[in-house]
Amino acid sequence: MASGASRCETNCKIARSPLIYKGRIYHPYFKNIIIGGGLMALGEICSQSIKMYFCGPPNYGSGSGNNLCSACDQESSKKSWIHLITDTSNYNFNTIIRQSAIGSFQGFYQFIYYSWLDKVFSGVSMTVVAKKVVLDEVLIGPISLAIFFLYNGFCDTFTMAGAFQRCRQSFLPGYLSDLVYWPVLQTINFALVPPGYRVLYVIFFTSIWNTYLCFFSARMGRSGSGIESNQ
């Protein structure tokens, strides 16, 4: 009994140690950061795989982020899509890391936001769910889109002017698409998904959504560069 009591006392002291205690407090942040980054990286890999299906492997020799969907050469055009997507040399790992970084950031701030939202609007009544969906589309939706387009615009052009130009070109069409995609998903989220899994649910569908945004952002980037070259 004495040894059991001493063991319990030792374990309690370990649990009260600053490192373990802080780990217990902050582990949801780390969990969502890791999951957000991983899912966004997976979404970008899927995005590049789909682009290879339609356009062939990207031309990474130019070093430009705007050539995400460049035409394939004669040799690569003869390769099957399965061969293309299984060849790691065809992937732009800089872009994958870039999207993983913004996914980690989204996992961090979305955990804070949805924790606050569940405290302010508790319950699953139709009124509460409707308030959450409206607030989500008015507040977090535009902010997330602006961050996404500014971030990718800056990474593609390495200038703030290019970042703001990308955001101006892409924000309104992207937000209109957002209004079609997210309200139904968020209604299901706020009505049926337990709060502990809310961020995971959002990040999963965000990775799918951002796969579309990658297509859209790359297309707007190419059209923008074409306009600049014509000028």
- Tens of pLDDT, residue by residue over 139-156, are 988 998 899 889 988 988
Give yes or no for a contact between 213 and 148, defined as CB atoms under 8 angstroms apart: yes
pLDDT(208) > 80: yes
Place of tokens 């980690």: 104
Using only C-alpha atoms, the chain has a radius of gyration, in whole angstroms, of 22
Q: Express the helix, strand and coil content of the chain in percent, nearest 5 each.
A: 85, 0, 15
- pLDDT class for 56, splitting at 50, 70, 90? low
- In this predicted structure, what is the pLDDT of residue 231? 37
Q: What is the rounded distance in angstroms from the CA atom of residue 128 to the CA atom of residue 117?
A: 10
**Mean pLDDT value of segment 7-27:** 48
| 57-101 residue pLDDT tens | 654 444 444 444 444 454 444 457 777 777 788 888 888 898 899
pLDDT(6) > 90: no
Q: What is the rounded distance in angstroms from the CA atom of residue 37 to the CA atom of residue 43?
A: 10
User: What average pLDDT is seen over the chain?
Assistant: 75
Residues 56-72 as b or e (16 or more Cβ within 10 Å = b)? bbbbbeeebbbbbbbeb
